Structure 1
Amino acid sequence: MKRTRANLTLRGGGVEDLGIVNGLSAAAFDPRFGEAWTPSQCAGMFALPGVWLTIAQEGERALGFAMARVILDDAELLLLAVDPSARRRGTGRALVRSTMAEAVIRGAVNLHLEVRAGNPAVSLYVGEGFTKIGERRKYYRGLDGEQFDAQTFRRSLSQE
């Protein structure tokens, strides 16, 4: 376990933590935007090589998670969720920084991510040195059929 602030710890996770991942996803992702992964999508990621999960906790309470993968020298932040009650307290930042550090250990030189345009998390990513490199029009489809653009970001890990 890695302690990032007085009461927040980060730990590695696995398939046994799918209940946590699914619960946090349900709390963190507004279904009107169509961003959340299904439980089977999350479970399927653990079968792939290079995937890792980090859980952020206060005591026994899970506050957030990050799921990422590395392929050759590129890493991708696949999914990041923070319980709404824990937002704006450094949990997301700790997860992003932990993902960057682990990606370097695993040999990555860049970290990529994708996020819905207009998602407040964009400011977190930009603040951590990510640069927008592209956009996917109408990538997400919400519950009512409305479509939302996705933005792709990259950060060099050579500073780490």
Structure 2
Amino acid sequence: MLDDLDQIMAVMATAFDPAWGEAWNRRQVEDALTLGNCHYFLVSPEGKPLTEGEIAAGFSLSRTGYEEEELLLLAVDPQFRRKGLGRSILDALRFAAGARGAKRLLLEMRRGNSAESLYATFGFYAIGERKDYYRTPNGERIDALTFACDID
């Protein structure tokens, strides 16, 4: 039986293209979760919260700050994409973040990330840009884009 961290890492291994160097390693996830203000959510292939004995199809990792919650990672296993799981994860995050007192969600991603369309349909809007912020494993520099979404 996989524990939650194993589930996160299994999805991470399939969901992130190594060409971009965006996947976190196990230690980074563990360290984030020990801070006390980081939260995760695991989703089943049916888009429901994961129950014992199921294999995760996706997850989110977020960090709570004063009246804001930052989405650090969102991933869906490629075999389960285009089935609304990303939206299910974002819905769960919005609800949980609101319950923790957040008034808006934040996220940052590299320019050209295909997930941008998902975030736009969810209500995220651009609030900033960092030139040449990301560096790919081959040394290419890519801008970071920052987005926000108000929690009603």
Q: Report the TM-score when normalising by structure 1.
A: 0.84
Identity value in percent: 43
Aligned to 2:71: 77
**Alignment check: 8 A CA contact 1:108 1:157 kept:** yes
**Alignment check: 8 A CA contact 1:114 1:153 kept:** yes
Where does the alignment leave 5 or more consecutive residues of structure 1 unmatched? 1-15
Mapped to 1, the partners of 2:33 and 2:56 lie a distance apart of 19
Larger strand share, 1 or 2: 1
1:1-160 correspondence runs (5 A): 16-58=3-45, 60-158=54-152
Where does the alignment leave 5 or more consecutive residues of structure 2 unmatched? 46-52
Question: Once the two structures are superposed, what CA deviation does each residue of 1:66-88 show, in whole Å capped at 9, x if it has no partner?
Answer: 01121121111111010011111
- Kindly tell me the number of residue pairs found equivalent between the two proteins: 143
Question: Once the two structures are superposed, what CA deviation does each residue of 1:1-40 show, in whole Å capped at 9, x if it has no partner?
Answer: xxxxxxxxxxxxxxx4221111211211111112111221
Structure 1 stretches (4+) deviating beyond 4 angstroms?
none
Mapped to 2, the partners of 1:88 and 1:135 lie a distance apart of 28
Alignment root-mean-square deviation, CA: 1.3
Q: Report the TM-score when normalising by structure 2.
A: 0.89
One-letter identity of the residue aligned with 2:133: Y
Mapped to 2, the partners of 1:86 and 1:119 lie a distance apart of 18
